[in-house]
Amino acid sequence: MTADPTTSPDQWTIRRVLDWTKAYLAKCGSDSPRLDAEILLAHARGCPRIQLYTNFDEVLSNEVRGRMRELVNRRAQHEPVAFLVGHREFFSLDFEVSRDVLVPRPETEILVMESLEAIKGNSTATVLDLGTGSGCIAVAVAVNAPTASVTGIDLSDAALAVARRNAERHKVAERVTFLHGDLFEPLPLPSLEQGGFDVIVSNPPYVATSDAATLPPDVLRHEPENALFAGADGLDIIRRIVENSPRFLNPGGTLLIEFSPEQAERISGLLNERGSFDEVTILRDLSQNPRVVRAVKRHEG
Ligand code: GLN
Protein backbone atom coordinates (compact mmCIF):
# COMPACT_ATOMS: atom_id res chain seq x y z
CA MET A 1 0.00 0.00 0.00
CA THR A 2 2.76 2.38 -0.89
CA ALA A 3 1.83 3.57 -4.35
CA ASP A 4 -1.40 5.05 -5.61
CA PRO A 5 -2.98 2.21 -7.62
CA THR A 6 -4.82 4.65 -9.80
CA THR A 7 -1.51 6.00 -11.19
CA SER A 8 1.02 3.22 -10.58
CA PRO A 9 1.99 1.02 -13.55
CA ASP A 10 1.87 -2.06 -11.27
CA GLN A 11 -0.82 -4.67 -11.57
CA TRP A 12 -3.68 -3.18 -9.66
CA THR A 13 -6.38 -5.67 -8.97
CA ILE A 14 -9.82 -4.91 -7.63
CA ARG A 15 -8.70 -6.12 -4.21
CA ARG A 16 -5.66 -3.83 -4.11
CA VAL A 17 -7.57 -0.81 -5.35
CA LEU A 18 -10.24 -1.34 -2.71
CA ASP A 19 -7.65 -1.71 0.05
CA TRP A 20 -5.72 1.36 -1.05
CA THR A 21 -8.81 3.49 -1.49
CA LYS A 22 -10.19 2.46 1.89
CA ALA A 23 -6.99 3.53 3.66
CA TYR A 24 -6.82 6.80 1.71
CA LEU A 25 -10.44 7.79 2.30
CA ALA A 26 -10.15 6.91 6.00
CA LYS A 27 -7.22 9.32 6.19
CA CYS A 28 -9.32 11.97 4.45
CA GLY A 29 -12.01 11.69 7.12
CA SER A 30 -14.65 9.39 5.63
CA ASP A 31 -16.45 7.40 8.32
CA SER A 32 -17.36 4.60 5.89
CA PRO A 33 -14.19 4.28 3.77
CA ARG A 34 -14.58 0.62 2.76
CA LEU A 35 -18.19 1.04 1.66
CA ASP A 36 -17.31 4.28 -0.16
CA ALA A 37 -14.47 2.49 -1.99
CA GLU A 38 -16.75 -0.33 -3.09
CA ILE A 39 -19.57 1.91 -4.29
CA LEU A 40 -17.17 4.16 -6.21
CA LEU A 41 -15.29 1.27 -7.83
CA ALA A 42 -18.52 -0.45 -8.82
CA HIS A 43 -19.60 2.83 -10.43
CA ALA A 44 -16.25 3.28 -12.21
CA ARG A 45 -16.38 -0.30 -13.50
CA GLY A 46 -20.09 -0.06 -14.34
CA CYS A 47 -21.14 -3.12 -12.37
CA PRO A 48 -23.15 -4.02 -9.27
CA ARG A 49 -21.09 -4.03 -6.04
CA ILE A 50 -21.45 -7.80 -5.64
CA GLN A 51 -19.43 -8.33 -8.84
CA LEU A 52 -16.37 -6.80 -7.23
CA TYR A 53 -16.30 -9.72 -4.81
CA THR A 54 -16.51 -12.31 -7.53
CA ASN A 55 -13.67 -10.64 -9.49
CA PHE A 56 -11.25 -9.68 -6.71
CA ASP A 57 -8.17 -10.63 -8.72
CA GLU A 58 -9.12 -8.92 -11.95
CA VAL A 59 -6.60 -6.32 -13.08
CA LEU A 60 -8.39 -3.05 -13.78
CA SER A 61 -8.08 -1.30 -17.13
CA ASN A 62 -6.53 2.16 -17.40
CA GLU A 63 -9.92 3.50 -18.27
CA VAL A 64 -11.58 2.20 -15.09
CA ARG A 65 -8.61 3.35 -13.02
CA GLY A 66 -8.87 6.81 -14.55
CA ARG A 67 -12.55 7.07 -13.68
CA MET A 68 -11.85 5.76 -10.18
CA ARG A 69 -9.06 8.31 -9.66
CA GLU A 70 -11.43 11.17 -10.45
CA LEU A 71 -14.15 9.80 -8.13
CA VAL A 72 -11.73 9.19 -5.27
CA ASN A 73 -10.28 12.70 -5.59
CA ARG A 74 -13.75 14.20 -5.36
CA ARG A 75 -14.69 11.97 -2.42
CA ALA A 76 -11.50 13.10 -0.68
CA GLN A 77 -12.91 16.64 -1.00
CA HIS A 78 -15.98 15.41 0.92
CA GLU A 79 -18.44 15.13 -1.95
CA PRO A 80 -21.08 12.65 -0.75
CA VAL A 81 -20.79 9.26 -2.45
CA ALA A 82 -24.47 9.40 -3.39
CA PHE A 83 -23.88 12.58 -5.43
CA LEU A 84 -20.82 11.08 -7.13
CA VAL A 85 -22.73 8.02 -8.32
CA GLY A 86 -26.20 9.62 -8.61
CA HIS A 87 -28.13 7.16 -6.51
CA ARG A 88 -28.54 5.84 -2.98
CA GLU A 89 -30.28 2.89 -1.34
CA PHE A 90 -33.10 3.68 1.10
CA PHE A 91 -35.55 1.19 2.59
CA SER A 92 -34.02 -1.50 0.31
CA LEU A 93 -34.90 0.52 -2.79
CA ASP A 94 -32.53 2.35 -5.11
CA PHE A 95 -33.23 6.10 -5.42
CA GLU A 96 -31.90 8.65 -7.86
CA VAL A 97 -30.34 11.59 -6.02
CA SER A 98 -28.83 14.86 -7.20
CA ARG A 99 -27.42 17.98 -5.59
CA ASP A 100 -30.98 19.34 -5.45
CA VAL A 101 -32.05 16.88 -2.75
CA LEU A 102 -30.90 15.74 0.66
CA VAL A 103 -29.19 12.34 0.53
CA PRO A 104 -31.62 9.78 2.04
CA ARG A 105 -30.37 8.71 5.48
CA PRO A 106 -30.90 5.43 7.32
CA GLU A 107 -32.57 7.11 10.34
CA THR A 108 -35.29 8.45 8.03
CA GLU A 109 -36.38 4.85 7.39
CA ILE A 110 -38.11 5.07 10.80
CA LEU A 111 -40.59 7.48 9.21
CA VAL A 112 -41.44 4.90 6.54
CA MET A 113 -41.81 2.03 9.03
CA GLU A 114 -44.06 4.12 11.27
CA SER A 115 -46.16 5.35 8.35
CA LEU A 116 -46.70 1.76 7.20
CA GLU A 117 -47.58 0.70 10.75
CA ALA A 118 -50.10 3.54 11.05
CA ILE A 119 -51.98 2.53 7.87
CA LYS A 120 -51.78 -1.25 8.33
CA GLY A 121 -55.10 -2.83 7.35
CA ASN A 122 -56.40 0.44 5.81
CA SER A 123 -56.96 -0.26 2.12
CA THR A 124 -57.80 3.36 1.26
CA ALA A 125 -55.06 5.08 3.22
CA THR A 126 -53.94 8.61 2.34
CA VAL A 127 -50.45 9.79 3.21
CA LEU A 128 -48.95 13.29 2.94
CA ASP A 129 -45.15 13.75 2.81
CA LEU A 130 -44.09 17.36 3.47
CA GLY A 131 -40.72 18.42 2.03
CA THR A 132 -40.52 15.26 -0.02
CA GLY A 133 -37.10 16.01 -1.59
CA SER A 134 -35.97 12.93 -3.52
CA GLY A 135 -39.40 11.43 -2.81
CA CYS A 136 -37.75 8.57 -0.91
CA ILE A 137 -40.33 8.51 1.91
CA ALA A 138 -43.36 8.93 -0.37
CA VAL A 139 -42.16 6.27 -2.82
CA ALA A 140 -41.05 3.77 -0.16
CA VAL A 141 -44.48 4.05 1.50
CA ALA A 142 -46.30 3.63 -1.82
CA VAL A 143 -44.21 0.59 -2.80
CA ASN A 144 -44.87 -1.11 0.55
CA ALA A 145 -48.54 -0.10 0.88
CA PRO A 146 -49.84 -1.10 -2.56
CA THR A 147 -53.27 0.55 -2.22
CA ALA A 148 -52.26 3.77 -0.46
CA SER A 149 -52.51 7.17 -2.11
CA VAL A 150 -49.53 9.38 -1.37
CA THR A 151 -49.03 13.12 -1.86
CA GLY A 152 -45.56 14.65 -1.74
CA ILE A 153 -45.01 18.41 -1.52
CA ASP A 154 -41.79 20.38 -1.95
CA LEU A 155 -40.78 23.99 -2.40
CA SER A 156 -38.08 22.99 -4.88
CA ASP A 157 -39.10 22.24 -8.48
CA ALA A 158 -35.71 20.67 -9.07
CA ALA A 159 -36.27 18.27 -6.17
CA LEU A 160 -39.75 17.40 -7.46
CA ALA A 161 -38.29 16.43 -10.83
CA VAL A 162 -36.04 13.91 -9.05
CA ALA A 163 -38.97 12.71 -6.90
CA ARG A 164 -41.17 12.13 -9.98
CA ARG A 165 -38.45 10.06 -11.64
CA ASN A 166 -38.12 8.00 -8.46
CA ALA A 167 -41.86 7.31 -8.42
CA GLU A 168 -41.67 6.19 -12.05
CA ARG A 169 -38.58 4.09 -11.43
CA HIS A 170 -40.46 2.19 -8.72
CA LYS A 171 -43.74 2.03 -10.68
CA VAL A 172 -45.89 3.94 -8.21
CA ALA A 173 -46.29 7.17 -10.19
CA GLU A 174 -50.05 6.69 -10.56
CA ARG A 175 -50.51 6.59 -6.75
CA VAL A 176 -48.03 9.30 -5.80
CA THR A 177 -48.93 12.90 -6.58
CA PHE A 178 -46.22 15.53 -6.32
CA LEU A 179 -47.20 19.14 -5.73
CA HIS A 180 -45.08 22.26 -5.75
CA GLY A 181 -45.42 24.66 -2.83
CA ASP A 182 -44.71 25.72 0.73
CA LEU A 183 -45.81 22.94 3.13
CA PHE A 184 -49.65 22.73 3.09
CA GLU A 185 -50.08 25.64 0.67
CA PRO A 186 -50.87 23.66 -2.52
CA LEU A 187 -53.59 21.56 -0.81
CA PRO A 188 -57.27 22.44 -1.05
CA LEU A 189 -58.63 23.47 2.37
CA PRO A 190 -60.16 20.40 4.01
CA SER A 191 -63.77 20.36 5.12
CA LEU A 192 -64.45 20.44 8.87
CA GLU A 193 -65.39 16.80 9.28
CA GLN A 194 -62.79 15.41 6.86
CA GLY A 195 -59.17 16.35 7.49
CA GLY A 196 -58.09 14.36 4.48
CA PHE A 197 -54.96 12.43 5.43
CA ASP A 198 -54.46 9.35 7.57
CA VAL A 199 -50.76 10.10 7.94
CA ILE A 200 -48.73 13.28 7.65
CA VAL A 201 -45.02 12.51 7.57
CA SER A 202 -42.04 14.83 7.25
CA ASN A 203 -38.28 14.98 7.37
CA PRO A 204 -38.19 18.77 7.30
CA PRO A 205 -35.16 21.03 7.49
CA TYR A 206 -34.34 21.09 11.21
CA VAL A 207 -30.75 22.23 11.69
CA ALA A 208 -30.31 25.42 13.73
CA THR A 209 -28.41 28.04 11.72
CA SER A 210 -26.03 28.43 14.66
CA ASP A 211 -25.15 24.72 14.36
CA ALA A 212 -23.88 25.07 10.78
CA ALA A 213 -20.26 24.80 11.89
CA THR A 214 -20.94 21.47 13.61
CA LEU A 215 -22.13 19.77 10.40
CA PRO A 216 -19.68 17.44 8.65
CA PRO A 217 -18.13 18.99 5.51
CA ASP A 218 -19.94 16.41 3.33
CA VAL A 219 -23.25 17.89 4.46
CA LEU A 220 -22.38 21.57 4.87
CA ARG A 221 -20.46 21.99 1.61
CA HIS A 222 -22.52 19.79 -0.68
CA GLU A 223 -26.12 19.26 0.43
CA PRO A 224 -28.84 21.83 -0.31
CA GLU A 225 -29.07 24.50 2.38
CA ASN A 226 -32.83 24.82 2.07
CA ALA A 227 -33.23 21.15 2.98
CA LEU A 228 -31.12 21.54 6.13
CA PHE A 229 -31.61 24.85 7.93
CA ALA A 230 -34.74 26.11 9.70
CA GLY A 231 -34.01 29.30 11.62
CA ALA A 232 -32.19 30.11 14.84
CA ASP A 233 -33.36 27.02 16.76
CA GLY A 234 -34.00 24.76 13.74
CA LEU A 235 -37.70 24.59 14.59
CA ASP A 236 -39.16 27.17 12.17
CA ILE A 237 -40.61 24.56 9.82
CA ILE A 238 -41.60 22.05 12.50
CA ARG A 239 -43.60 24.76 14.35
CA ARG A 240 -45.60 25.39 11.16
CA ILE A 241 -46.20 21.67 10.62
CA VAL A 242 -47.41 21.19 14.21
CA GLU A 243 -49.66 24.25 13.95
CA ASN A 244 -51.33 23.28 10.66
CA SER A 245 -51.35 19.48 10.54
CA PRO A 246 -54.45 18.91 12.74
CA ARG A 247 -56.61 20.57 10.07
CA PHE A 248 -55.31 18.17 7.42
CA LEU A 249 -55.40 14.94 9.47
CA ASN A 250 -58.37 12.64 9.77
CA PRO A 251 -59.50 11.91 13.36
CA GLY A 252 -57.14 9.24 14.69
CA GLY A 253 -54.61 10.16 12.00
CA THR A 254 -50.89 10.06 12.71
CA LEU A 255 -48.30 12.83 12.49
CA LEU A 256 -44.66 11.74 12.14
CA ILE A 257 -41.77 14.22 12.15
CA GLU A 258 -38.01 13.68 12.15
CA PHE A 259 -35.91 16.07 14.26
CA SER A 260 -32.50 16.57 15.82
CA PRO A 261 -31.97 14.74 19.16
CA GLU A 262 -31.59 17.86 21.32
CA GLN A 263 -34.99 19.15 20.10
CA ALA A 264 -37.00 16.24 21.57
CA GLU A 265 -38.37 18.03 24.63
CA ARG A 266 -39.29 21.22 22.82
CA ILE A 267 -41.08 19.21 20.13
CA SER A 268 -43.10 17.20 22.67
CA GLY A 269 -43.92 20.55 24.26
CA LEU A 270 -45.10 22.06 20.96
CA LEU A 271 -47.34 19.06 20.23
CA ASN A 272 -48.85 18.97 23.72
CA GLU A 273 -49.49 22.72 23.65
CA ARG A 274 -51.19 22.42 20.25
CA GLY A 275 -53.91 20.49 22.06
CA SER A 276 -55.19 18.32 19.17
CA PHE A 277 -53.08 15.23 19.79
CA ASP A 278 -53.69 12.32 22.13
CA GLU A 279 -50.48 10.35 22.18
CA VAL A 280 -47.14 12.04 21.72
CA THR A 281 -44.32 9.49 21.57
CA ILE A 282 -40.62 10.06 20.94
CA LEU A 283 -38.91 7.27 18.97
CA ARG A 284 -35.17 6.58 18.93
CA ASP A 285 -32.90 5.79 15.97
CA LEU A 286 -30.41 2.91 15.74
CA SER A 287 -27.87 4.97 17.67
CA GLN A 288 -30.45 5.36 20.45
CA ASN A 289 -30.85 9.08 19.77
CA PRO A 290 -34.36 10.57 19.97
CA ARG A 291 -35.11 11.11 16.27
CA VAL A 292 -38.82 10.94 15.40
CA VAL A 293 -42.01 12.09 17.09
CA ARG A 294 -45.31 10.30 16.56
CA ALA A 295 -48.55 12.02 17.56
CA VAL A 296 -52.10 10.79 17.03
CA LYS A 297 -54.86 13.27 16.30
CA ARG A 298 -57.65 13.17 18.83
CA HIS A 299 -61.10 11.84 17.91
CA GLU A 300 -63.49 14.67 18.74
CA GLY A 301 -66.06 14.22 21.52
N1 GLN B 1 -30.03 14.63 9.59
C2 GLN B 1 -29.49 15.67 8.76
C3 GLN B 1 -28.12 16.06 9.24
O4 GLN B 1 -27.86 16.11 10.40
C5 GLN B 1 -30.38 16.88 8.72
C6 GLN B 1 -31.55 16.57 7.91
C7 GLN B 1 -32.61 17.59 8.02
O8 GLN B 1 -32.43 18.76 8.38
N9 GLN B 1 -33.77 17.14 7.71
O10 GLN B 1 -27.26 16.27 8.44
Task: Give the per-residue pLDDT at 71.
Answer: 98
**C-beta separation of 200 from 193 below 8 A:** no
Ligand 1 residue neighbourhood (C-beta within 6 Å): 102, 105, 203-207, 215, 219, 228
Q: What are the C-alpha distances in Å from 264 to residues 202, 206, 297? A: 15, 12, 19
The pLDDT of residue 211 is above 60: yes
Q: Closest residue (by CA) to atom 2 of ligand 1?
A: 228
Q: For 196-208, how does the pLDDT look when each residue is reduced to its tens digit (9 = 90+)? A: 999 999 999 999 9
Distance, CA 14 to ligand 1 centroid (Å)?
A: 34
Mean pLDDT across 168-196: 88
Instruction: Provide the residue count of the chain.
Output: 301
Task: Give the per-residue pLDDT at 11.
Answer: 85
Q: What structural domains does the chain harbor? A: 14-77 (1.10.8.10), 98-297 (3.40.50.150)
The pLDDT of residue 301 is above 60: no
The pLDDT of residue 10 is above 90: no
Q: Grade residue 4 by pLDDT with cuts at 50, 70 and 90.
A: low
Q: Which residue has the higher pLDDT, 8 or 188?
A: 188
The pLDDT of residue 195 is above 80: no
The pLDDT of residue 115 is above 80: yes
Distance CA 1, CA 14 (A): 13
pTM: 0.93
Q: For a substitution probing ligand 1, which of 102, 108, 236 has the most ligand atoms within 8 Å of its CB?
A: 102
Q: For 229-249, how does the pLDDT look when each residue is reduced to its tens digit (9 = 90+)? A: 999 999 999 999 999 999 999
Mean pLDDT across 88-98: 97
Distance CA 134, CA 267 (A): 25
